[in-house]
Structure formats: C-alpha cells, structure tokens
Structure 1
C-alpha cells in the first residue's frame, strides 16, 4: 500500500453500483467489509466539501436480474440517493465496466480534463475491478480505496467440488491484481480523506 498520495484538484470519485439489490443476502450470499457504506459516504462528503467531481454509476440488469430497472433493487441505497444532487455525472450501464455506459464516461472525463479517478463501490472484484483495470489501460491515474468496496463469496460453478473463494479472498486478489498489475494504486478511505482535507486547509 502506498503511503504518499496526491489528490488532483479535479480528481473524480466514481461510486459504482451502490444499489439496494445488493442488500439481498439470500440472493448474493455472505459479504465482506461491513464498513464499506460508511466509508463510501465519507468519501462522497469529502469530495463534495472540496468541490471535486462525483460520478454515480448505476447498474441496469437484464430482465429478471436483481438490479433490473423495474425492480426495487435497482434504486440507489438511501445514503447515496441523499447525496445524488452532488453528482456531476450519472452513468447507467449493463456490463461490468463503467466505461460502457450512458452517457459515455471517457468522453465526459476528457471534456472535463480529468486524469485521476478514485474508484469505490460494489462489487470489489467485479465492476470496481473491471472499471479500474480499464481506466488504467486508458491512461488514468487510478486510486482504489479497498475499504470503500465490498463483495460476496463466489464459486466457479455449481456443486461441492467447484472452487470457491470468500469475499475477503476475492478482495485481496483484486488488490494484488490492480496494484501488482500496474492498473491502480490501493489506498484507504482515511488516506484519501486526510489528503483532501489537508489540501483544503492549506
């Protein structure tokens, strides 16, 4: 984990798929990091206070999916919805990468002259990791506060012999993939908030 981070004045915070459908434990199974929502809220508040841009990303599942637009699970969690007016952009997507949505995220970032992204939300190893990987490939400076994400236990297939990883194991793999692979730097919410507020007070 890096100790020294610098937050650009126009660094964009991407809050990905923080939707009510992920609260269905019977559907998703065990999750990790119960502090994720509080950390995401803290980041959103710090970004708003510092005047940096917030981007909300919302997943629209295909019909029958837990996050389908016609189901209650599509809605943003209350703490995100309460802060939604802060958002400079609201992207809707139906795949893992936030760069394949509407409006076009890359076009907006280019128009705003934004080169640094902070990527948080749900799920750590799915839409967060995919978005961070693609952002790294596109040349953005990417920071991922792992403690402002969460995921769920996952098996490779049905049956007792299918390989399975816990949510914590998957989060660790994401951290290794992103930082070890050079896609992003893994940081903490506290590091980001401290840096944002120190620079605001300077």
Structure 2
C-alpha cells in the first residue's frame, strides 16, 4: 500500500490507565510491539507523529484522569516522544475524537498539507474508530492498522455482550465497508512507509 512521505502517525491514548483491571479482558497482545515499530519507522523517516492523550474530565474517577498516574503515556511511548527528526504534536482531549482536542489536529495537519493519517492506539472501537470516522468525513485518507491497537469486551443494552475481538471485527467492517478508512495490518503500513521513504 502507498504511504505518503508526509503521512502523519496518530498515536491515540496509549496510556497506563488502560492496564488497570477496570476495563476487563483485552485483545491483541501484540498491539504495543506494532505501535512501537510504527513510531520508530515514522521517526527514522522524518514523518510527522501526533501523540494524543485522553484527559478525563475533572472530578472523574476514570483511570485516565489528569493528575493520576494512569493518565501518563505507557513507558514505550513516553521514551520515544521527541526522538524523531520530523514534526511532532501533542494533542489532549476529553472526548473520543482526536479532532476535538487541543490544539486543533485538523488545523495542524492542513497547515502542513498532510492528507493521509495512520491511526494506532487504544481503544479500537472507541477513540480510534471515532477519530477515523471523523478523519474520513473531513476528507483525509485514513489508514487503520488493526493489529496496532486493542480494545476490551463490552456489555450493551438488553444484556447483549461482545468480546474485544467481536468489537474489533465490527469496527473493521464498519470503517472499511463504509469507506471511512482502509483497514490493514501494521506490516502493510511498515512496508508501504519503507518504500515511500526511498
């Protein structure tokens, strides 16, 4: 697949709070390894990287609340921040979409004439999917490497339950089938980005 020379990697909510039992059973134990590989390649090739942090609302008991250790980026992300030769941005948000954070992700991308974004991070069917849908609506070419993210099982109305894998499949079908994003693998992106950097 084609990854442009200025495609932005958007690393969503890779925070310590998601390691707490509060969330339940997760999927894709390889997510962190794949996210790290993508950040490394982006930084090596001078491409732009956007780190997104979820700051839960004041007074919240969320593990992602500001001032709590769970709000911090996981170590492998924190260690990589500021290490690339390309542009870097920190976006903070308190809702699902990274496009509703501070500073404006859309303005930052457009100011650099970036038309393609690659979304990775946590959670697949929540902030990642919401950001992908909005990115697609805004006209970006959205790439969604499904194995560079993870989520947790959920309980819904009527006693319905879905596992993390079931929710991941539903997200993939909705985004890809609905034309919001190209759902691919981390390896697809790594190959495409390596070729595009030559």
Q: Are 1:80 and 2:77 an aligned pair?
A: yes
Q: Are 1:19 and 2:15 an aligned pair?
A: yes
* Cα RMSD after superposing both structures: 1.0
Contact 2:2/2:196 (<8 A) preserved: no
| Alignment of structure 1 residues 1-202 onto 2, 5 Å | 5-24=1-20, 26-62=21-57, 63-85=60-82, 86=84, 88-156=88-156, 162-200=159-197, 202=198
Deviation string for 1:77-124 (max 9, x for gaps)? Answer: 000000111361000000000000000101111111100000010000
Shift of 1:64: 1.5
* CA distance in structure 1 between the aligned counterparts of 2:39 and 2:73, rounded to whole angstroms: 14
TM-score in terms of structure 1 length: 0.93
Deviation string for 1:21-74 (max 9, x for gaps)? Answer: 0001x2000000000000000000011111110000000012221100111100
TM-score in terms of structure 2 length: 0.95
Greater than 2 Å deviation, 4+ residue runs: none
* CA distance in structure 2 between the aligned counterparts of 1:138 and 1:192, rounded to whole angstroms: 22
Q: How many aligned residue pairs are there?
A: 193
* CA distance in structure 1 between the aligned counterparts of 2:111 and 2:98, rounded to whole angstroms: 17
* CA distance in structure 1 between the aligned counterparts of 2:166 and 2:188, rounded to whole angstroms: 23
* CA distance in structure 2 between the aligned counterparts of 1:98 and 1:74, rounded to whole angstroms: 16
Structure 2 SS opposite 1:120: strand
Q: Which runs of 5+ in 2 are unaligned?
A: none
Structure 1 SS opposite 2:147: helix
* CA distance in structure 1 between the aligned counterparts of 2:190 and 2:4, rounded to whole angstroms: 13
